[in-house]
Amino acid sequence: MLRDPSAPDFIYDYVNLASPLMGAEAVVVSDEFFADKARILQDQPAVFLPEAFDDHGKWMDGWETRRRRDGGNDWLLIKLGVPGVVKGVDIDTSHFTGNYPPAAMLEGCFSLTEPDPNGRWRPLVRTTPLGPSAHHYVGVADPEPVNWLKLSIFPDGGVARLRVHGVPFREWTEAERGGEIELSAAKNGGRVIAYNDAHYGNVQRMLAAGRGTNMGDGWETRRRREPGNDWMIVALADPGVIERIEVDTAHFKGNFPDRCSIQAARVEQGAHQALITQSMFWPELMTPQKLSADAIHSFSGGDISALGPVSHVRFNIFPDGGVSRLRLFGRLA
């Protein structure tokens, strides 16, 4: 998973709210004759299989409607698993070359019941032109949280993937404010915002719920052939005091890191490169600790330095390898 230099910062600074890993689901659709609506939310990049056909025609990795002959336009309703404030979207038409929609619009709302497709929606991305087989990045300035999305395409066609990047919206209860919270969890607003290498796997899965299902369900770097070590930076859901840490190397048996350490600080998230440079000098929250194969490693008490409230951590592995999950537990500042 290499960083795309042409992608805006919101792609890497915020979690994908429309990911099935966050509980998002494509619920209602005007039409899905050629390709199932659920495919548009898949986390892996879209693929093209030249020889793949089904009973409806060419198999496409995305959501695709039939050619409209009655006027109007097609649309899709998506229910988010976790409400959030949208910061930007990627409407991806990869591999759709003669069958992409010329334009699309994204709207949102907050509703405790399934909203009416023809009801009142708030514009997030106003009608924007689309091109063939390309990522279309659009920033969003709406400050209010949403838990439903409506993607409209004009008039018909196919979209490979929809990524909706933002900040999960959490209203902490009194019990949560006084108790332990998984500050790093994606469902709470934790997010991976930088890393030096992620050659294998899916780095965002590091903050997902549950244990990894296989070696591809986590973060793995290439084999390091030069001095140094690999690292990633995680922005916590909210500043807090970290009291317990779990590092899970599930399924990594011949390629787990020898050791890991964590640096941390309370900082304002500024320019991407500046934050990376700052992180090199953050104090140690946890000194280097030995790791083993396919195991959950728990650290607490004297393993963790008293740094007070922190907002970001730098997770270092020595020298390279794979980690399935990183969990940082603590109390809100």
What are the tens digits of pLDDT across the range 92-131?
999 999 999 999 999 999 999 999 999 999 999 999 999 9
Query: What percent of the chain shows pLDDT beyond 90?
Result: 81
One domain, residues 140 and 196: no
**pLDDT tier at 2, thresholds 50, 70, 90:** low
What are the tens digits of pLDDT across the range 261-273?
999 999 987 666 7
The whole-angstrom separation of Cα 61 and Cα 58 is 10
Residue after which a domain boundary falls, among 168, 188, 213: 168
For the domain that residue 285 is a member of, what is the CATH number? 2.60.120.260
Tell me what the mean pLDDT of segment 229-250 comes to: 97
One domain, residues 244 and 189: yes
Domain contains 160: yes
What are the tens digits of pLDDT across the range 124-162?
999 999 999 999 999 999 999 999 999 999 999 999 999
One domain, residues 74 and 115: yes
In the predicted model, is pLDDT for residue 1 greater than 60? no
One domain, residues 154 and 197: no
Phi-psi region of 177 (alpha: psi -120 to 50; beta: other; left: phi over 0): alpha
Cα 177 to the center of its chain, rounded Å: 25
Residue after which a domain boundary falls, among 140, 168, 196: 168
Domain contains 1: no
What are the tens digits of pLDDT across the range 169-179?
888 888 888 89
Domain contains 81: yes
**pLDDT tier at 241, thresholds 50, 70, 90:** very high
Query: What percent of the chain shows pLDDT beyond 70?
Result: 98
Residue after which a domain boundary falls, among 168, 186, 215: 168
One domain, residues 117 and 183: no
What are the tens digits of pLDDT across the range 181-201?
999 998 888 988 899 999 998
One domain, residues 148 and 194: no
What are the tens digits of pLDDT across the range 17-66?
999 888 899 999 999 999 999 999 998 999 999 999 998 999 999 999 99
Q: Give me 135's structure tokens.
A: 């990522």
Domain contains 3: no
Domain contains 2: no
Strand ranges in 155-302 using DSSP code E only, listed in sequence order: 158-159, 161-168, 181-182, 191-195, 200-201, 219-220, 230-248, 259-265, 284-290, 296-300
The domain containing residue 151 runs over which residues? 10-168
Q: Give me 121's structure tokens.
A: 């929606």
Domain contains 51: yes
One domain, residues 192 and 122: no
> How many residues does the structure list for the chain?
333
One domain, residues 94 and 43: yes
Spatial CA neighbour of 87 closest among 269, 274, 267: 269
One domain, residues 193 and 315: yes
CB under 8 Å to 131, separation ≥6 — which residues?
Answer: 93, 100
Domain contains 96: yes
One domain, residues 179 and 164: no
**pLDDT tier at 277, thresholds 50, 70, 90:** very high
Task: Check residue 104 and give its pLDDT.
Answer: 98
Task: Check residue 149 and give its pLDDT.
Answer: 98
What's the total number of domains in the chain?
2
One domain, residues 184 and 269: yes
Domain contains 4: no
Tell me what the mean pLDDT of segment 280-299 comes to: 98
Rg, the chain, Cα only? 21
How far from 224 is each of 47, 196, 199, 220, CA to CA, in Å?
29, 11, 11, 11
One domain, residues 208 and 156: no
pTM of the model: 0.79
Q: What is the mean pLDDT of the chain?
A: 94
Task: Check residue 324 and give its pLDDT.
Answer: 98
**CB-based burial label for 143 (10 Å; 0-12, 13-18, 19+):** exposed
Task: Check residue 60 and give its pLDDT.
Answer: 96
